[in-house]
Amino acid sequence: MLSVILPAYNEEKMIRKASETIDRILSAEQIPYEIVFVNDGSKDNTWSEIEQAAEENPHVTGILFSRNFGKESAMLAGLAEASGDCCAVMDCDLQHPPETLVEMYRLWEQGYEVIEGVKRTRGKESTLHRMSAGLFYKLISKAVKIDMSRASDFKLLDRRAVDALLSLPERNVFFRALSSWIGFKTVSVEFDVQERTEGESKWSTRSLIQYAIKNIAIFSTTALQCVTIAGVAVFVAAIILGIQTLVRYFSGHAVEGFTTVILLILIIGSLVMISLGIIGYYIGKIYEEVKGRPRYLISRKIGRKEQ
């Protein structure tokens, strides 16, 4: 059986449409399935819509978080509660085309354990968004040694891969990278990002920047290495400036005043403060991991797993 996990945050307009569309496509292909909606602390009527969809379709189940824990936690919760032999994760807004699920499932039947959805086209995006996304994926690809230039959360995982993913102990997770990091027999499927038909995107430029910073810190030490590189660069610059100052002094052309000293203090002070901020961010993530709090808390379940 195929379990389709759909994280949902303020998606009241898309729940029924997503349920009906996936049901129509998978039923036509005679693929046994369940749909697992994970309501990530929505403030609208998303949960009511999930309850209604579960009443109309016995294949639909729902999970309600006690509050908003984030998309990564919602995806992991759906994987943990799913009962399928393979599990697909996709966006509730149907920007990940449901028709691609059929191709992914057929590849799983052929023995592939991780089927990665990669973006052929990204749909309509602002120039700033596209440039920011490109920079982020270049940084994360270099840091984790995995090509993530066209990566997405749209994936189908075999039960063995799901269990391996869920066994990882860290609390702060980057699903898009971890699902590649675990390995297993992998193949890629290209898809075109679809336009949203209802509602609005929950990802602003600010939230995307925060998401990028968080995941780079979670999955790599690149930022810490940048601190070392900056320190070396300042040290080299200080040596050059020191030599220049000594040459001017002994040649009788020393510059009067404290301009050079002030500039050095400002540059070094700024680098020290930025470095402390980066180190502090990593220490904060370590603190979150050490506390060992659960990734999410479930308030209610409905459907076949209703409790």
Q: What is the pLDDT of residues 129-153, one digit of tens each?
A: 666 666 666 666 666 566 666 667 7
Q: What is the pLDDT of residue 49?
A: 87
Supply the mean pLDDT for the chain.
76
- Model pLDDT, residue 71: 83
Mean pLDDT of 273-287: 74
If one compares 190 and 210, the residue with the highest pLDDT of the two is 190
How high is the pLDDT of residue 216?
64
Strands 33-39 and 2-8: parallel
Least confident window among 27-36, 70-79, 252-261, 294-303: 252-261
pLDDT average, residue stretch 55-83: 86
First to last CA, the chain: 22
Q: Residue 204 has what DSSP assignment?
A: -
44's tokens: 């609208």
- Is the per-residue pLDDT at 240 higher than 80? no
Identity of the residue numbered 233: A
Beta-ladder partners of 33: 2
| Contact between residue 7 and residue 75 where contact means Cβ atoms under 8 Å apart | yes
- For strands 2-8 and 86-89, give the pairing: parallel
pLDDT digits (tens, 9 = 90+) for 103-130: 888 888 888 888 888 877 755 656 666 6
Residue 306, pLDDT > 50, answer no
For position 245, what pLDDT does the model report?
Answer: 65
In contact, 32 and 3? CB cutoff 8 Å: no
CB contact at 8 A, 127 and 114: no
Mean pLDDT of 86-108: 86
* pLDDT tens per residue, range 177-196: 777 777 788 888 888 777 65
**Is a pLDDT exceeding 60 seen at residue 34?**
yes
CB 240: neighbour CB atoms within 10 A?
10
**pLDDT(292) > 60:** yes
CB 114 within 8 A of CB 185: yes
For the cut 50, the answer to whether the pLDDT of residue 298 exceeds it is yes
The tokens of 258 are what? Answer: 């404290």
CA distance 189 to 103: 8
Q: What is the pLDDT of residue 80?
A: 87
pLDDT value of residue 286: 76
Query: Region 69-86: what's the mean pLDDT?
Result: 86
Q: Which pLDDT does position 305 carry in this prediction? A: 44
pLDDT above 70 as % of the chain = 68
Residue indicated by tokens 């936690």: 73
If one counts every other C-beta atom within 10 angstroms of the C-beta of residue 252, the result is 6
**CA gap 49, 301 in Å, rounded:** 14
